[in-house]
Structure 1
């Protein structure tokens, strides 16, 4: 059996933190900050991988847009009715599809399906795959549009 890689572990930790933050009604970005502070005095908490923090911070900034995209592809479901872990997985994957330019869209979808197999119900992997496959069709256009936008603090190129 193949051992999970560093990014897979970072994604899984991000899903865990997203799930926990939603259950507690706190910001996932705040949870990451607290955990990074807490690990300094108690290493048993486990450090937060930089990729986990990047994804969580990105989601904190883009969650309403991510949720709107996911919701637009749900059929006979609402985002609120989904199992919380499926919501976390799809939020993570949708953010990655649009923002992680160094990760191929197929890899993002495959990783999300693997997380659903590990963490959710028997029906979740197929459901997650179906929704994310449709969202993945948008990813090239979103990534291309983002690449043409100037970075914050950088002047536009003419």
Structure 2
């Protein structure tokens, strides 16, 4: 793999992780993601890393489209309600669904794989399989 694409992929993964941090905190504290983002930006070192722009895109995109994203997650999460999902899983799903629906430069398999990989690092043993199935079903719907 060429250095450029690998570097870009790693930057996007960091961006997703940062977006997850902000969305997770906003979800737990029942605050608007934009408000949490502002305090988050104040806490991290300057100059801010370049990948932070994509984090902001994800956070703003999820916040702006939250009702539609949550509607899809609720519709395709077999046997689960959004409120019953672990907070990490719920927000990983939100990021991935945002990318599936609104980020044309992110291939569906990449959005799904990234969510699954972050779930392996940060959530329960069952989370990667759950998210993979959920996101596969949503991706199939989105490409119809």
Partner of 2:86 in structure 1?
83
SS of 2:73's partner is helix
- Runs of 4+ aligned residues of structure 1 deviating over 3 Å after TM superposition are none
> What CA distance in whole angstroms lies between the structure 2 residues aligned with 1:110 and 1:139?
17
SS of 1:43's partner is coil
Q: Structure 1, residues 36-63: CA drift from partner, whole Å, max 9, x if none?
A: 3x25xx627x657000001111111110
Is 1:99 aligned with 2:113?
Answer: no
Of 48-57 and 122-131, deviating more is 48-57
Q: More relative contact order in 1 or in 2 (CA 8 Å, sep 6+)?
A: 2
User: Which ranges in structure 1 are unaligned for 5 or more consecutive residues?
Assistant: 142-158
Task: From the two aligned structures, give the one with the greater helix fraction.
Answer: 2
* 8 Å contact from structure 1 (residues 70, 90) kept in 2: yes
* Bigger Cα Rg: 1
In the alignment, which of 135, 138, 142 is matched to residue 138 of structure 2? Answer: 135
What's the offset of the Cα at 1:35? Answer: 2.9
User: Which ranges in structure 2 are unaligned for 5 or more consecutive residues?
Assistant: 1-5
Partner of 2:39 in structure 1?
34
Q: Structure 1, residues 109-144: CA drift from partner, whole Å, max 9, x if none?
A: 000100110110000000000000000112335xxx
Q: How many residues get paired? A: 137
What's the offset of the Cα at 1:32? Answer: 1.4
TM-score w.r.t. the length of structure 1 is 0.79
What's the offset of the Cα at 1:16? Answer: 1.2
SS of 2:143's partner is helix
> What CA distance in whole angstroms lies between the structure 1 residues aligned with 2:108 and 2:73?
16
Q: Supply the RMSD in Å over aligned alpha carbons.
A: 2.1
What's the offset of the Cα at 1:23? Answer: 1.2
TM-score w.r.t. the length of structure 2 is 0.87
